[in-house]
Amino acid sequence: MRVLVIVKADNNSEAGAAPDEKLLTEMTAYNEELVKAGIMLSGEGLHPSSKGKRVRFSGDKRTVVDGPFAEAKELIAGFWMWQVKSMEEAVEWVKRCPNPTGAESEIEIRPVFETEEFGPELTPEVREREERLRERLEKNKKR
């Protein structure tokens, strides 16, 4: 199963403060463990929401909202995409993670939908198109 592991933002990450050398060293070692175990598919840190935008949808109308966005604790500072055997395995790996802020922090784990979970609404035509898209994505990664 694939899971998205979400590192929640805090006031420091929203202010654009970079992690210190100690945390970068610890996170690099942790990422190395994830890669060696075949768990980590990808992972990145994100700029603060002040550099981001949101697009709000209301029927056919689209409205662009510039960051920053309120409630730092509800924002994302970084993420990993993992391939794990179970949610329990993902939880065990997150428990081993260095504390991303050194203070109160939170990491959220969310399962990713797999194609077979969509049921009959995913018609054979749409399934074929999705498979072609995934193949193209894999080719793009090799560029």
Residue 61 sits in the same domain as residue 122 = no
Q: Total domain count for the chain?
A: 2
Residue 58 sits in the same domain as residue 22 = yes
Residue 56 sits in the same domain as residue 73 = yes
pTM, whole model, 2 decimals? 0.87
Which pLDDT tens digit goes with each residue over 5-49?
A: 999 999 999 999 988 999 999 999 999 999 999 999 999 999 999
Residue 99 sits in the same domain as residue 140 = no
For 65, the 3-state DSSP assignment is strand
d(CA 40, CA 18): 22
pLDDT tier, 74 (very low <50, low <70, confident <90, very high otherwise): confident
Work out whether the CA dihedral 30, 35, 38, 41 comes out positive or negative: positive
